[in-house]
């Protein structure tokens, strides 16, 4: 399963975006998910791979959000106010995530291990999930991130949406 079409009025959807600048190595990604029968279910994942226009990508993502009846998206604090301004121009409220991506991955892991989430059939999503590593950072704090040279844009958007849908 690669995408679940929206069923507006039946599900409460949650969206998470991982913004990027368009010219570096990072992709800009969007994940949408909902809760159903005690599970967090992914509906779609979008990825704009570099090089891309960040403004054009926000326009495309806003259209996807609208299809699912969403007027708000959660995302990381990348680039300060830029993502919030761009989404606002398109009628979407951008809320910075209270959780870091490491915190999101830490909340996602028990959901995954307990079969409380589903995943889409997406090779990049799977590869990035399997590429995550837990490390002990300065001060003894655990950190979950991709390995050096790796990527986590797709799994970041997917797990962010799924964690929000699960209410974690």
Rounded Cα distance between 14 and 16, Å, is: 7
Is the predicted pLDDT of residue 95 greater than 90, yes or no? yes
Confidence band (pLDDT; 50, 70, 90) for 138? confident
Torsion angles phi and psi, residue 50, rounded to 5:
-70, 150
Which pLDDT does position 167 carry in this prediction?
Answer: 94
Could you tell me the pTM of the whole model?
0.95
Q: In percent, how much of the chain has pLDDT > 90?
A: 86
The predicted-structure confidence for 52-94, as pLDDT tens digits, reads as follows 999 999 999 999 999 999 999 999 887 778 999 999 999 999 9
CA–chain centroid gap for 121, Å, is 16
CA 147 – CA 91 distance, rounded (Å): 36
């Amino acid at each position: 399963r690669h995408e679940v079409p929206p069923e507006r009025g039946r599900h409460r959807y949650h969206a998470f975006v991982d913004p990027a600048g368009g010219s570096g190595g990072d992709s800009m990604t969007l994940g949408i998910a909902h809760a159903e029968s005690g599970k967090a279910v992914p509906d779609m994942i979008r990825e704009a791979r570099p090089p891309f226009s960040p403004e054009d990508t926000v326009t495309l993502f806003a259209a996807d959000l609208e299809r699912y009846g969403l007027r708000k998206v959660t995302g990381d604090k990348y680039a300060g106010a830029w993502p919030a301004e761009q989404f606002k121009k398109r009628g979407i409220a951008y809320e910075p995530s209270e959780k870091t991506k490491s915190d999101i991955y830490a909340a996602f892991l028990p959901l995954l291990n307990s079969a409380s989430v589903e995943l889409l059939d997406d090779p990049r999503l799977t590869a990035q999930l399997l590429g995550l590593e837990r490390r002990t950072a300065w001060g003894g704090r655990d950190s979950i991130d991709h390995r050096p040279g790796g990527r986590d844009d797709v799994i970041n958007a997917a797990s962010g949406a799924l964690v929000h849908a699960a209410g974690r």
